[in-house]
Amino acid sequence: MNSQASAFEVSNYLLGHAWEDARVQALVEGWEQLDWMDDEDLKKARTDHRLSLMNQARGIYLFFTDPDSHEARYGASSGKGSLILSRVSLLLHFHPQWTPYAGSLPLALHADDIVGDVLQRLGQPAELWRVGLNVSKARWLSPQAEIDVSFERGTGRLKLVTMTRPRVARASVIAVPSPEQFAKQFGRPLAELQRDTHFAPFSLDRKTREIAEYGEADYSEELGIELYFKPGAEMADAVPAAPRNAEPCLSGLRYRADLDFQSTGYTGPLPWGLRMSDTMDVAMAKAASRPFKQALNDDDGYQLWRTELCDVHVLYSFLEDRIYRVTLLAHGCYD
């Protein structure tokens, strides 16, 4: 990939530019969402590390984060400001309610391209997501950008193109129990987990009040994980291991993608070998069974599986064509 062309593309799509940048303000001028946003909303966005804007009439989705979060993930921004543009999705053959993006596309893509043409013209991608012979997404890399190209199932037409800057090196991952190990602990009392060396990374002693008040221990910023607890008496009928008393017992956990409500992004193992970058088609193929329940709309949706060990809830962002959250739930505790 030509590095000069890539550098032009990144600048053209404003990645790394600040909310206050004149070009960013010109891009979002007149967007409907801004009619009900004020300074307090922008301040909250900085606190939450995220601001999402979408324009169905132009086929564009934008994701901003605060300067510190941007620098930690992508390095220095292209200008100073309160929020930095970190991800851009250009929607093409996406949904009837979305007008296809009509501007220029990165990688010299064309709106009428189909998957075979793209793979032949651009060459081997850095990553490829497929189910059988059907390619659902491919990723190309350059020093300036990470570009995901998603394809419509059946027709192979361009569905959407998502761009971010390449990630800087991440800190070493802290080892936590595997999804299977977690699920096998459902119903186990908090007092026992506090003494279990497998749960040492969570320092559960520091979360006793949070667990008592809210039924959860939030490690989203540190590990990209939340742990959930219920009184044993509320679990005992469905989870034989749970004691029939009021002691908090492990009842579920949630893995979060990066910047999902202040999360650093979980990067460890997920059920069935899922990855947060997987499309829904790929996730279903890895699950190797139909979901027990699902609710899907234009922008996002979820699927729920019931497995022998636990329920598995997968939430998708269709605007980015990837998984956003994976949640494991003890049987019968969250119906």
Question: Environment class of residue 192 by beta-carbon count within 10 Å: exposed (0-12), middle (13-18) or buried (19+)?
Answer: middle
Within 8 A by CB and 6+ apart from 102, the residues are 58, 59, 111
What is the reported pLDDT for 9? 63
Ranges 8-22, 60-74, 271-285: which has the least confidence:
8-22
Q: What is the pLDDT of residue 3?
A: 47
| pLDDT beyond 90 at 144 | no
d(CA 252, CA 231): 12
Q: What is the token pair recorded at 274? A: 């899922």
Average pLDDT of the chain? Answer: 92
Which of 7-16, 97-106, 271-280, 305-314 comes out lowest in average pLDDT?
7-16
Nearest Cα residue to 266 out of 258, 274, 181? 258
Matching residue, tokens 């995901």: 148
CB-based contact 235:333 (threshold 8 Å): yes
pTM > 0.75: yes or no = yes
For residue range 295-324, list pLDDT tens digits in order.
999 899 999 999 999 999 999 999 999 999
Round to whole Å and give the CA distance between 124 and 208.
Answer: 50
Unique residue bearing structure tokens 């060396």: 197
Which of 44-53, 222-231, 286-295, 296-305 bottoms out in mean pLDDT, i.e. has the lowest?
44-53
* 249: Cα separation from own chain's centroid: 28
Residue ranges of alpha helices (H) inside the chain are 3-12, 22-28, 39-48, 67-74, 115-122, 179-184, 190-194, 208-214, 220-223, 232-235, 280-287
Tell me the C-alpha distance between 324 and 301, whole Å: 10
Q: Is the pLDDT of residue 18 over 90?
A: yes
In this prediction, residues 10-32 reach a mean pLDDT of 91
157, 93 in Cβ contact below 8 A?
A: yes
C-alpha distance across the termini of the chain, in Å: 50
Strand order in the sheet with 322-329: 216-219, 225-231, 248-256, 322-329, 311-317, 300-306, 293-296
pLDDT per position as a tens digit, 322-331: 999 999 999 9
Q: Which amino acid is at 262?
A: Q
Phi-psi region of 288 (alpha: psi -120 to 50; beta: other; left: phi over 0): left
List, in sequence order, every residue forming a beta bridge with 90; answer none if it has no partner: 60, 161
Give tens-digit pLDDT for 99-134.
Answer: 999 999 999 899 999 999 999 999 999 999 999 999
Using alpha carbons only, what angle is made at residue 326 by residues 50 and 47, rounded to the nearest 5 degrees?
A: 20
Instruction: Look at 60-64, 90-94, 162-166, 174-178 and tell me which has the smallest mean pLDDT.
Output: 174-178
The answer to whether residue 275 scores a pLDDT higher than 60 is yes
Structure tokens at 228: 């959930």
And the tokens for 156? Answer: 């192979």
